[in-house]
Amino acid sequence: MKWELTATSPNQEIYALWHNDKKVLALDFHPFTNSARIEYADEKRVFLIRKEGFLRNKTVLRDEYGMRIGQLGYEKSNAATGVLELNDEKFFYTIHNNPIAELVIYKETKDKPFVTCGLQAGNGNTSIKLSKGDQLSASQHFLLMAVCWYMFLPVAKENTVEYAL
């Protein structure tokens, strides 16, 4: 699976999630409101990405009704790893930037990934880096959350072994 940036402007970024040369998900992110509109098959959803917690150290995903769906946290010892909680399930993630930006989501061990997803710009060059400083930049949380949301759809759950590379 890979993310591809298809269009960008100051007010929105449009991405497509591809698997085996087939577009499986479209995402329209609005940086000003930190909201993402996701289209999958005939389903359209809106998600809100917010910083919450005492030190605003958790990134929280809420649906269009304001219900908390998941959250994203960071491992302090390693800036490229973290914890994901979605639908009451706990996962871990790691970020690689060599040779291309790649996100790996796993349950117990990195050797058995739940999903692996690369980021690639439309012209073939990697222009999006997943890690910035100590953590993901605020405008990149939605990519991680969108992949996780997609993986919890009933059709995707049947194919998780196929998505792990």
Nearest to 86 by CA among 71, 108, 67, 105: 71
> What are the pLDDT digits (tens) for 27-64?
898 988 889 898 988 889 898 888 887 777 778 889 89
Over range 99-123, report the average pLDDT: 72
Q: How far apart are CA 41 and CA 153, in angstroms?
A: 11
List CB contacts of 118: < 8 A, sequence separation 6 or more. 1, 2, 3, 100, 101, 102, 103
* 2-9 vs 12-19, strand pairing mode: antiparallel
Q: Where along the chain do its domains lie?
A: 2-163
> What are the pLDDT digits (tens) for 114-155?
777 766 544 544 333 333 233 444 445 556 666 655 555 544
Answer yes or no: pTM beyond 0.85. Answer: no
